[in-house]
Amino acid sequence: MKKFFMYVIVLVTLLFIGYTVYYFVQNNETISSTLGEENQIFLNVGETCDLPILWTKPYSSTKVYDDENVEIGDKEVLSYDSTTKTLVAKAGGNATVTITPSNTKFGPFMFSVVVGDGTTNFPYYIKNDEDLSNIGKTGHKFTLNDSYKLVKDIDLKSYSNWTPIGDSVNPFAGNFDGNNRIISNLTITSGSNVGLFGEISSLSNITNLTLNKVSIKGEFDNAGGIVAVSRGTIRLCKVLSFDFENTKVDSNNGGIAGYCENLSINNGSSDL
């Protein structure tokens, strides 16, 4: 009988120690969202992103990345791959994502994912300099006829001679919403029609865009901060701190646009 009670005491002690360790370790882990106040992610069709979760000192039994932990509001817009732990943008639209860790001390974490498809309702979202430079590139999904929206400030300091978006053969014919963001350090040293945009057609609209620290120096036919040749609409755009020099005689130059046909510039300003 004594042995039996000894076994019981040992078993209870081990269970107590095990539970104590479990409780201590589990309560030592932390799970949090890496998103800021906007609590929103912008993707374009075909893009993926990791779940915005910071998980430190994870406990082995806690589940965060399994299918049952991640709920997608609109599965036609967005899907979740638990193997790679990534969100996959499928179609233009807005989807709510809810992440519910099995450790109920944390979460649930809820945020929205907006997916761009190049339409006016869900434009392609420009998040960095690479996105911007890809507009109109041969073979890229960002065509010259799509709609775009800037969602981050962009620094072009890594481009020593920016290639303008659109030219006289293939002008930009889409919409570009600067979203009151700033593109800085645009530098151009050679070309014919130069600016952030080379040429825009009568179908084009460029709005709410600010350029800062622009340097355009060389010999050009047409030169402007926002666009070299404009046949479209430019509205609520600014060019700040413009360092400009065009050595070509009889060229067309301007802070916002170098040459305008059917002038349509509303509420624009330039430091030129």
Q: What is the mean pLDDT of residues 150-156?
A: 98
pTM for the model stands at 0.86
Say whether pLDDT at 31 is over 70: yes
pLDDT digits (tens, 9 = 90+) for 35-67: 988 899 999 999 999 999 999 999 889 999 999
pLDDT attached to residue 221: 96
pLDDT digits (tens, 9 = 90+) for 200-255: 999 999 999 999 999 999 999 999 999 999 999 999 999 999 999 999 989 999 99
**Cα separation, 186 vs 106, whole angstroms:** 44
pLDDT band at 130 (very low <50, low <70, confident <90, very high): very high
Which 3-state string (H, E, C) describes 128-159? Answer: CHHHHHHCCCCCCCCCCCCEEEECCCEECCCC
Q: What is the mean pLDDT of residues 3-15?
A: 58
pLDDT digits (tens, 9 = 90+) for 98-124: 999 999 999 999 999 999 999 999 999
Q: Find all residues with CB under 8 Å of 60, minimum gap 6, and list them.
A: none
pLDDT attached to residue 38: 83
> How many degrees, rounded to 5, is the angle at CA 242 between CA 148 and CA 176?
10
Q: Which of 13-17, 28-32, 131-135, 202-206 has the lowest mean pLDDT?
A: 13-17
pLDDT attached to residue 81: 97
DSSP 63: -
Say whether pLDDT at 79 is over 80: yes
Say whether pLDDT at 5 is over 90: no
pLDDT digits (tens, 9 = 90+) for 65-75: 999 999 999 99
Q: Which of 105-114, 157-166, 255-264 has the lowest mean pLDDT?
A: 255-264
Contact 149, 179 (CB under 8 A): yes
Q: What is the mean pLDDT of residues 26-32?
A: 81
% of the chain beyond a pLDDT of 90 = 82
pLDDT attached to residue 60: 87
pLDDT attached to residue 22: 55
**Cα separation, 12 vs 77, whole angstroms:** 52
The CB-based long-range contact list for 27-30 (8 Å cut-off, 24+ gap) reads 27/105, 28/57, 28/59, 29/55, 29/56, 29/57, 29/58, 29/59, 29/62, 29/103, 30/54, 30/55, 30/56, 30/57, 30/106
pLDDT digits (tens, 9 = 90+) for 15-26: 665 555 555 444
More confident residue, 197 or 263: 197
pLDDT attached to residue 261: 84
Contact 85, 61 (CB under 8 A): no
pLDDT attached to residue 8: 53
